């Protein structure tokens, strides 16, 4: 969760303030007519309420911590280099009893904190990483022996939230999709859900909070609002089908920023049917790699934030075929870095070559032929890039100029973390798609998370948060947690408003 000026930063003496965070958001978001969800009022409210939300969770016993060293994504006034991200501590999901099975699988198989997980791929090259691995293995064994099932990251955060909700006696209905919002005298008075084949009405005294995700799993809505994208490239929850945005619009809610998304470059390795997308943002930033379009041209800074990469791919595709693009690496890369979720090393699953997921060639020309890229263009692109590497500066796209860009690269190579020549055969390439981890447009809400109509009036009794809304982050991600931070914060703001005001 991206939380400026949070209690964990303060406790560790990491400098930040509301003024600094406001300056940063002003710089990276600006005051744009096409991002009403990111209005100045909403940004100010976010900066004020996000740390208060964290204080509330901490007071309820939710165990959180600062994610050490995860820089903000933009070089702009007010940026935080140590970073503003708050994460869950490891959590034992056995505490959830039968509810344990309701959580989606985590994206890390081992109970490693995120900062530890970032080190694990370097274990062949670094003693610190070897020690981290030993610590994680020890922790896994000890926890299993004591009957625990520790999880990390999003699974731990959601596990803790579910645990606290259950302990507080929250009545949770599952497999109970909301079909309709009910209105009484112009006020939202409840919802109709479908459960066990029947319609049920649930009344709401204080209000209804929509937190039903975005529409990354709805191809029709993608075609309408973000053409050129596909449900096959998303890693969002299966329920991100968008119907609550449509339903809110039906009763008069304004919708905005519908073409915004948290883009993320994805590879589709074989293994599952359909293939499960794997995020390759970190891969793209490592030395000895470049990304090219289908003409063999570089067109972006590969070590950018995932949202910038997602946008760059779609934009490029309007002038040259770039969906998919090719992530081209040499054999130096394979030895040192992960590729599409596989650990460093030349040996890759046989199915990767059999299915054509991994293309290879002893020379760049042979690789180009295997990928259907004009060989002369690819060779020229690589030659130009290698020249930049030798001179120590990427003159075309400034890869490695910003601290976040370098942080994404090889953390063991302080001198050149993201620039490395692509010159040692055999060469390899995989296709990369402009996938996403969320859409970022939806119903328009105010600084109290109340849903607004087109002309700006409030729909009484209706609140919304998360990716069902037009995000307070507009078209950008300020740092790690730019989606979940707002989702938690506006939920907190909505609940306070519903309880404490006449709404």
Ligand X SMILES: Cc1cc2nc3c(=O)[nH]c(=O)nc-3n(C[C@H](O)[C@H](O)[C@H](O)COP(=O)(O)OP(=O)(O)OC[C@H]3O[C@@H](n4cnc5c(N)ncnc54)[C@H](O)[C@@H]3O)c2cc1C
Q: How far is the CB of 88 from ligand X (least distance, A)?
A: 11
How far apart are CB 319 and ligand X at their closest, in Å?
A: 29
Whose structure tokens read 């209804």? 208
The answer to the question of residue 156 lying near ligand X (CB under 6 A) is no
Q: Which of 466, 474, 478, 479 binds ligand X (CB under 6 A)?
A: 466
Strand partners, 256: 442
Stretch in the footprint of ligand X (CB under 6 A) among 119-127, 207-215, 299-307, 455-463: 207-215
178 versus 365: smaller Cβ distance to ligand X: 178
Q: Is 356 left (phi over 0), alpha (psi -120 to 50) or beta?
A: left
- 26 or 243: whose CB is closer to ligand X? 243
Binding mask 231-270 for ligand X (x = CB under 6 A): ----xxx-xxx-xx-----------------x--------
Mask of contacts with ligand X, 393-412, x by CB under 6 A? --------------------
DSSP string, 5-67: T-HHHHHTT----HHHHHHHHHHHH---TT-GGG-HHHHHHHHHHHHHHHHHHHHTT--EEE-
Residue 173 C-beta: closest distance to ligand X, Å: 9
Minimum distance between the CB of residue 63 and ligand X, rounded to whole angstroms? 17
The whole-angstrom distance between residue 239's C-alpha and the CA centroid of its chain comes to 17
Our CA dihedral for 148, 149, 154, 157, rounded to 10 degrees, sits at: -20
Q: Does 494 bind ligand X (CB under 6 A)?
A: no
User: Using CB under 6 A, which of 112, 437, 444, 462 touches ligand X?
Assistant: 437
Choice between 461 and 482, CB closer to ligand X: 482
Alpha helices in 60-113 (DSSP H): none
Residue given tokens 């870095």 in the structure block: 337
Nearest residue to ligand X, scored by beta-carbon proximity: 239
| 487 touches ligand X (CB under 6 A) | yes
Q: Which is nearer to ligand X, 218 or 381 (CB)?
A: 218
CB of 177 to ligand X, least distance (A): 4
Among 484, 493, 495, 498, binds ligand X (CB under 6 A): 484
Q: Cα–Cα distance between 153 and 109 in angstroms, integer?
A: 11
Distance CA 467, CA 262 (A): 10
Would you say how long the chain is, in residues?
Answer: 503
User: Does residue 84 contact residue 479 with C-beta atoms inside 8 Å?
Assistant: yes
**Contact window for ligand X (CB under 6 A) among 68-76, 326-334, 367-375, 474-482:** 474-482
> Per residue, what are the HEC states of 196-261?
CCEEEEEECCCCEEECCCCCCCCHHHHHHHCCCCCHHHECCCCCCCCHHHHHHHHCCECEECCCCE
Question: Which residues of the shown chain bind ligand X in the complex (CB under 6 A)?
Answer: 107, 154, 177-178, 211-213, 235-237, 239-241, 243-244, 262, 437-438, 466-467, 480-485, 487
């Amino acid at each position: 969760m991206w939380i400026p000026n949070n209690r964990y930063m303060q406790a560790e003496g990491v400098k930040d303030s509301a003024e600094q965070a406001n300056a940063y958001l002003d710089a990276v978001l600006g005051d744009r007519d096409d991002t009403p969800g990111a209005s100045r009022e909403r940004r100010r409210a976010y900066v004020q309420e996000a740390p208060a939300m964290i204080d509330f969770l901490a007071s309820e016993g939710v165990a959180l911590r600062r994610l050490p060293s995860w820089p903000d994504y933009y070089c702009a006034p007010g940026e935080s280099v140590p970073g503003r991200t708050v994460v869950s501590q490891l959590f034992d999901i056995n505490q959830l009893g039968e509810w344990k099975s309701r959580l989606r699988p985590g994206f890390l198989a081992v109970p490693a904190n995120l900062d530890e997980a970032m080190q694990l791929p370097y274990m062949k090259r670094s003693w610190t990483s070897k020690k981290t691995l030993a610590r994680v293995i020890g922790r896994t064994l000890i926890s299993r022996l004591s009957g625990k099932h520790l999880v990390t990251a999003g699974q731990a955060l959601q596990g803790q939230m579910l645990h606290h909700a259950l302990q507080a006696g929250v009545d949770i209905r599952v497999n109970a999709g909301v079909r309709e919002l009910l209105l009484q005298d112009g006020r939202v008075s409840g919802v109709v859900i479908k459960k066990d084949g029947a319609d049920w009405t649930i009344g709401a005294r204080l209000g209804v909070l929509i937190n039903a995700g975005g529409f990354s799993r709805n191809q029709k809505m993608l075609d309408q609002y973000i053409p050129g994208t596909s449900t096959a490239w998303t890693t969002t929850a299966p329920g991100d089908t968008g119907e609550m945005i449509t339903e809110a619009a039906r009763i008069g809610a304004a919708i905005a920023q519908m073409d915004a998304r948290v883009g993320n470059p994805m590879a589709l390795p074989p293994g599952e049917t359909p293939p499960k997308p794997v995020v390759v943002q970190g891969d793209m930033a490592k030395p000895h790699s470049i990304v090219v379009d289908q003409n063999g041209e570089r067109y972006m800074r590969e070590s950018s934030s995932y949202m910038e990469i997602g946008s760059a791919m779609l934009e490029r595709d309007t002038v040259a075929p770039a969906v998919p693009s090719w992530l081209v690496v040499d054999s130096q890369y394979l030895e040192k870095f992960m590729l599409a979720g596989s650990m460093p090393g030349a040996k890759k699953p046989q199915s990767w070559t059999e299915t054509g997921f991994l293309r290879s060639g002893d020379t760049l020309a042979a690789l180009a032929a295997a990928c259907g890229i004009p060989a002369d263009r690819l060779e020229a692109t690589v030659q130009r890039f290698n020249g930049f590497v030798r001179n120590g500066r990427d003159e075309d796209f400034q890869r490695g100029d910003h601290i976040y860009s370098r942080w994404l690269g090889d953390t063991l190579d302080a001198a050149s973390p993201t620039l490395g020549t692509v010159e040692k055969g055999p060469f390899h390439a995989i296709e990369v798609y402009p996938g996403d981890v969320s859409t970022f447009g939806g119903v328009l809400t105010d600084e109290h998370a109340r849903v607004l109509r087109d002309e700006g009036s409030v729909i009484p009794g209706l609140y919304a948060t998360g990716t069902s809304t037009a995000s307070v982050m507009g078209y950008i991600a300020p740092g790690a947690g730019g989606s979940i931070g707002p989702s938690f914060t506006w939920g907190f703001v909505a609940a306070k408003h519903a309880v404490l005001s006449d709404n």
